[in-house]
Each structure stands twice: as C-alpha cells, then as structure tokens.
Amino acid sequence: MSIESILKNRYSARAFLDKPVAKETLDLIFAHAQLSPSNCNVQPWQTCVVSGQTKDTLKQKFMETLMSGASPNPDFNWLPQYQGIHRDRQFGSANALYSAIGVAREDKKARQMAMVRNWQFFDAPHAVFFTMDKYLDIMGAVDLGIYAQTLSLIMADHGISNCMQGALGQFPDPVREILNLPDERGILFGMSFGYADDSAAVNNTRTDRESIENAVAFFD
C-alpha cells in the first residue's frame, strides 16, 4: 500500500476487536519505527508498549484516578486554550465524533463517558506511551511526534489501526508507578492500537482537512 493511500484512508479508531497483534508483528513494526529521523539523531523516544495484564492494571488505575476527582497533572505543558480557527477545528472534531455515536450536544454525561473511553484504551489490545527525558522539552516533543507518525503509518501498512491520544499524557503518575519509570522520564502522549472493529459506529468518525491554499505557502 502506498503512503498516499494510507494517508487518505487512515482514521482514528476508537473501537477494536478482541484480537492481539502477534508478537513477531509487533517486533517488526517497532524495529522499522526505529528508522525515524530525529534532531541530531538523538532518538529521544523511550517507547512503552502495554498489553495483557499490565494494560488492564493500568486501565484500572486510570479509572480509580478519574473517580477520585483528580485534576490532570501532565509532565509537559501541552494543554493550550485553542483560539480562532484552531478552536473551530477542535469543535469540528468533537462534533464529528459525537455525531457518529449519536450523542447530542446537550448530553454532557454521554460526552464525558466518551472521553473516559480514552483511559480505557477504547478496549484495544495494546497501547503505547511515548516517553522521553523531561529536559529535552520542545525538541524532544518534535522528535516524538515524528516517531509516532512513522509508527502509525507502519501499523497501517500491516492492517493495524490506532488512535493518537493526548489524554494518555494527562495523568502520568499511574503510568510511572505501574511501569516503574524514573522521575526524570516524562510521558508526553499515547496511542491505543489493534485491529479495528468495522461494525462500531464510532469508527465512522471522519474529520476534515484544510485545503492546501490555506495551509501551504510557496515562495519562488
């Protein structure tokens, strides 16, 4: 499958089959992702893949954290208050999701439950946490973004769907505890992945992309 075809057909999956990805396939995908470029070749990503009992334990810890009423305490300042066109696109993305699953704008409880699904990994068999040393700051974040996109495309080439999730970086303490990560390691964001459930309404969610005229400027 060509890169162009993958990009045109990829979407954020939020419902998955109860079918783990084979270990040899995981090894191959993550080995290829190591070919990602990075600033000065520092390769800052420390990738944590959770499956099975570890994933289930982490899911339970997330639920306990949410039920306690704890506020998000991300390791990095990545919660901007979107303005202007960016806010419009944020609302458009949310509307596309809620429309796909039949949730009305005024149904706040249903919207909250849809948000909680992030910390249940959308019932995916696997999840990835993208971590790096905190001191790397913005440049490390750039490299992790490049790595995550590379990983996502490789997964798609193997018929594996995923959903990038900033939400998985909002509560780093349970991740650090369960995975025994050092304090100097920061959790930036995560990704749930597996084989998409094509019968799930939520997987009909699609978002728009800006036209090239409004996104790219050519200078001769």
Could you give the 3-state DSSP secondary structure of residue 194?
strand
The average confidence (pLDDT) of the chain is 96
Are 165 and 175 in contact, with CB atoms under 8 Å apart?
A: no
Are 98 and 90 in contact, with CB atoms under 8 Å apart?
A: no
How many whole angstroms separate alpha carbon 82 and alpha carbon 66?
A: 24
1 versus 195: the higher-pLDDT residue is 195
Tell me the per-residue pLDDT of 136-152, one tens digit each, with 9 for 90 and over.
Answer: 999 999 999 999 999 99
Task: State mean pLDDT over 111-137.
Answer: 96
Residues 6+ apart with CB under 8 A from 136: 42, 44, 143
Are 124 and 107 in contact, with CB atoms under 8 Å apart?
A: no
**pLDDT of 78 above 80:** no
Tell me the per-residue pLDDT of 13-33, one tens digit each, with 9 for 90 and over.
Answer: 999 999 999 999 999 999 999
Q: What percent of the chain has pLDDT over 90?
A: 95
Q: How much is the pLDDT for 162?
A: 98
Domains of the chain: residue spans and CATH: 3-80+118-205 (3.40.109.10)
**pLDDT of 79 above 80:** no
How many whole angstroms separate alpha carbon 15 and alpha carbon 36?
A: 28
